[in-house]
Copies of this chain bind each other. A is one copy, B any other.
Amino acid sequence: MGPRTVEKHVHKDEAWERVRRYLAQKGLRSTGQRDLIIETFLAASGHINAEELTRAVKRRNRGVGAATVYRTLRLLSDCGVAVARTFGDGEKRYEVEDHDGHHDHLICESCGTIVEFEDDEIEALQDAVAKRYGFRLSRHKHELYGLCRKCIS
């Protein structure tokens, strides 16, 4: 848990830095609601959806409206701090964008657990497939659905 925590803090600072830069550049302001929502988002364990985030935020400040959470989530996407992903059939969830790395997902269809994985061989094969069909890739989505260890037993 030691190095992992440090790593997370680094990401958090990097995220705030990005937000600050973006706000300044666009002439936008920093407000209490904004800060609270961003703070809550960064503290969450990732793969959170708008409703869950709104609940978490309201727990700390009842008055914050859902619209503001949606607006902030869009802001975070625009400045490269958050990425939206659509799991299953239509579950839209947000996670902190990882700027020096890439991962895909294993999703448990029973308990909803989402595990991240990286596989260089698969990544390389994707490029081969793209070349085979004359595509130039910009991104991809690779999701494996099934049952996690817990839900199998």
**A146 interfacial contact with B, CB 8 Å:** yes
Query: Which B residues touch A143, using CB under 8 A?
Result: 140-142
Given A90-B86, A92-B90, A129-B106, A146 and B152 touching (CB < 8 A)?
A: no
CB neighbors of B among A125-153 (8 A): 125-126, 129-130, 132-149, 152
**A43 interfacial contact with B, CB 8 Å:** no
**A10 interfacial contact with B, CB 8 Å:** no
Determine whether the beta carbon of B119 is less than 8 Å from that of A148.
no
Interface residues of A (CB under 8 A from B): 84, 86, 89-90, 92, 106, 108-109, 115, 117, 119, 121-122, 125-126, 129-130, 132-149, 152
